[in-house]
Chains A and B, each alone.
Chain A
Amino acid sequence: EVQLVESGGGLVQPGGSLRLSCAASGFTFTSHWMSWVRQAPGKGLEWVANIKPDGSEKYYVDSVRGRFTISRDNAKNSIYLQMNSLRAEDTALYYCARDDDMAWGLWGLGTLVTVSS
């Protein structure tokens, strides 16, 4: 089955860290850029970061650059998002998404990150 499954979300205090994971299956993982997209409660979608198939290029939205790091392990068909110095405004449902022809054709169900004291 073609799917993306995120994990690693939870409650964390401001200034803390969290690492999200996304496991891909059912397609050729090494052929695709992969992205993290987030959605704050009751708000719209926001692209967070993406990574090239071989991991050699990574891009970030301005608000997370320097705090978040995207990575991938092609042997495990997985991508990750290391989130440091977390802020209340990072609270959101974090989706893993597959880049298809410059659009996101496959999404996971998301993992919820709550930053609160």
Chain B
Amino acid sequence: QSALTQPRSVSGSPGQSVAISCTGTGSDVGGYRFISWYQQHPGKTPKLIIYDVTKRPSGIPDRFSGSKSGNTASLTISGLQAEDEADYYCSSNPGTYKVFGGGTQLTVL
């Protein structure tokens, strides 16, 4: 039950695209399609933005997209906006346990 690996921080300017990686193993990220991503603004509750690797819940703009290759999943945010500045967490659900990444702080310059 080891945490997934995410970069501590990423940054980008308004309008640019950024990608956040989430690396695990074949026993979690690599072996299952149940990868999800959460956005958390300071002092707020986490919000689901991607599930099943690539799917977006209703109301999440298509600027947010997910992908996976091997043991690494990625969240891409295109057309960065100031309100995207937040912490982002990936999660894998390989079965009887669930694991999060350590979180990535996104700064919009």
Interface residues of A (CB under 8 A from B): 35, 37, 44-47, 50, 59, 61-62, 95, 100-105, 107-110
Q: Are B96 and A59 in contact (CB under 8 A)?
A: yes
**CB-based nearest B residue for A57:** B96
Residues of B in contact with A, size category: 20 to 34
Which A residues lie within 8 Å of B89 (CB)? 44-45
Q: Would you call A35 and B98 a contact (CB within 8 A)?
A: yes
- Which A residues are in CB contact (< 8 Å) with B100? 44-47
B57-109: which have CB < 8 Å to A?
57, 87, 89, 91, 93, 96-103
Is A105 a contact partner of B57 (Cβ separation < 8 A)?
yes
* B97 close to A101 (CB less than 8 A): no
Chain B residues with Cβ under 8 A from A62's Cβ? 1
